[in-house]
Chain A
Amino acid sequence: MSTATRSLPRTIGAHAILVTYTVIALFPVILVVMNSFKSRAGIFGAPLTPPTANTFDLIGYTTVFGQGDFFHYFQNSLVVTVASLFFVLLFGAMAAFALSEYRFRGNTLMGLYLALGIMIPIRLGTVAILQLMVASGLVNTLTALILVYTAQGLPLAIFILSEFMKQVSNDLKNAGRIDGLSEYTIFFRLVLPLVRPAMATVAVFTMIPIWNDLWFPLILAPSEETKTVTLGAQLFLGQFVTNWNAILAALSLAILPVLILYVIFSRQLIRGITSGAVK
């Protein structure tokens, strides 16, 4: 699609498709957030209209804030997500580099071994993981969650990153070796910056399941001090099944932080993608 020959109808067509899809993507989210500001009668009577003076009501939010320390839960989620993300990216990139860069016996086998984890739901290992955590006294700590999520995120990260690392020019690396750079320097200085777009993508993929996970917080760290925001929201849903004001408010509160995080993150992500691509 050349810039010079790009025609107006084609641009309009592109925008039309993208706008349509954007509406489809955002509609349910907007619906939830919009209705969370309405009274019970307003929600059931006219779900599609935005809150008016008549139907505006913050009762849902008052209920939610009266119930649990959502700010604290949010902090826990943030700590767990950021720490796990850091380890997944660091360890994952290192392993992916080893797999894609060096030929050694057992390379393919090692690759397969590291990919096993994406083939079995980690949930199945729950009992053994919990026993491990009990034995090491890590139950009801955020560390337990970080360890599990790091292990859980690694296979996919290695899988995607090694694919991208194979595309990094050999000439560049060999030039570095001729200049006498160590393998570590080549990895951190030459290769990592080049795979930034892939790193950003992996970061997003890793972040989502961690943030949204319900199972391991429930099993490993259900105490009030270590509760994550998703677990908090789920317990809340269980408690207020029919109170849609409260549910919609809780859902909105669970959506907004991730949304903000993502919008901030997506700037970085795009910068990463473009800087890696434009050479």
Chain B
Amino acid sequence: MDTETMAAETRAKRPIRWHVGVFLAPAVLVYTAFMILPLFGTLQLSLFRNIEQSQVFVGLGNFRTLFGDPNWSVNFWNALRNNVWFFIIHMLVQNPIGILLAALLSSPRLRFTAFYRTAIFVPTILSFVIVGFAWKLILSPIWGVAPHLMDFVGLKSFFTPWLGKEQYALTALSLVSVWQFVGIPMMLIYAALLSIPDEVIEAAECDGVTGMAQFWKIKLPLILPSIGIISILTFVGNFNAFDLIYTAQGALAGPNYSTDILGTFLYRAFFGFQLQVGDPNMGAAIATIMFLIILAGVCVYLFLVQTRLRRYQF
């Protein structure tokens, strides 16, 4: 592979390091054949337009339509705005809760941790079909689980059909998504906390740093790289999100597009919906923009955040 030859060139004094190629080859091959080639086959469609059943090259024409034609741009900015809000809620709710739970679980001598850990991770393993359906039932004004429970604690008057109200639906669904995925940051941070060597903790205790102070001053800096990972994973996941909104609100992401995020917007454009005929070219244009947004995020992470975080080797 060319990585090898490149490596060979730079390190001419060393023998060709075949093993680098061997380590990389299987992953690169499968990944290139079944993911990258099909995906780029699709993305290049964004430069074409279907005119009279044949693909005509239009350069950046589709992007001009996407940003210039209010029929597309209004929906696009709406979806992007909603997506940002979706992401903010995850960062503010999901990740802090995940870290808190991981910190609690990793405290030594706490009993039943295996049970808690298993239980809290359960929502993460459920399919969107189940999550969407179960929460629709719970929040349904007719089935009455949520109103019932709120009545129990005297908050009945605060109940509204959240999923049907423009101002609440997106936040409600973001929280459902947080509920489902909080297990991921929890597990990653938990693994990071467990891998902090005992010597570090003991040294801290000798210096009298314990409890909360110990968490903030010693552990948190040590798990910062992991927090970096969960942040970028949340970012990527949120901007690719689709299934939950789709199963709970449908492809039109109602009411009045208030829960429309980039994923659902893309789905409608690419595959079509009801009478709307799918437009792979415009769909590909949206996908390209999504790709660029996420790529920008990942680059910020890789080149700015990651290089500044000190990595500790134990």
Contacts and interface: CB of A to CB of B under 8 A. Distances in A.
A47 B147 CA distance: 12
Given A14-B107, A127-B42, A279-B197, A237 B120 contact: no
B123 A31 contact: no
A104 B6 contact: yes
Interface in B267-314: 270, 280, 283-284, 287, 290-291, 294-295, 298-299, 302, 311-314
A62 B236 CA distance: 42
A83 interface: no
Given A197-B194, A197-B195, A132 B34 contact: yes
A142 B27 CA distance: 20
Nearest to A18: B116
Q: Is the interface of A mostly helix, strand, loop or mixed?
A: helix
Contacts of B123: 25, 28-29
B163 to A, nearest CB: 14
Interface string A119-132: 11111111111001
A251 interface: yes
A175 interface: no
A112 B302 contact: yes
Given A1-B215, A3-B109, A117-B31, A201 B118 contact: no
A106 B28 contact: no
B56 interface: no
Given A94-B27, A124-B43, A263-B118, 12 more contacts: A21-B97, A31-B138, A32-B137, A98-B24, A102-B20, A104-B3, A117-B36, A163-B229, A197-B195, A211-B127, A258-B126, A277-B195
A116 interface: yes
A97 B17 CA distance: 14
Contact of A18 (B26, B28, B105): B105
B311 A167 contact: yes
Interface residues of B, number: 106
A75 interface: no
Given A32-B130, A150-B30, A273-B190, A119 B211 contact: no
A116 B36 contact: yes
A26 B122 contact: yes
B188 A201 contact: yes
A212 to B, nearest CB: 3
A270 B134 contact: no
A114 B129 contact: no
B69 interface: no
For chain A, give the interface size range. 35 or more
Nearest to B113: A18
A92 interface: yes
A190 B112 CA distance: 32
16 contacts: A3-B109, A4-B205, A14-B104, A28-B135, A47-B143, A122-B38, A124-B283, A127-B280, A128-B41, A148-B34, A150-B34, A151-B35, A163-B225, A266-B114, A270-B114, A278-B198
A105 B17 CA distance: 13
A24 interface: yes
Interface in A1-40: 1-6, 10-11, 14-15, 17-19, 21-22, 24-26, 28-29, 31-32
A57 to B, nearest CB: 17
Contacts of B59: none
A59 interface: no
B110 A14 contact: yes
A125 B143 contact: no
A18 B69 CA distance: 50
Interface in B136-194: 137-138, 143-145, 148-149, 179, 184, 187-188, 190-191, 194
Contact of B30 (A147, A169, A207): A147
B101 interface: yes
Contact of A114 (B19, B27, B122): B27
A29 B42 contact: no
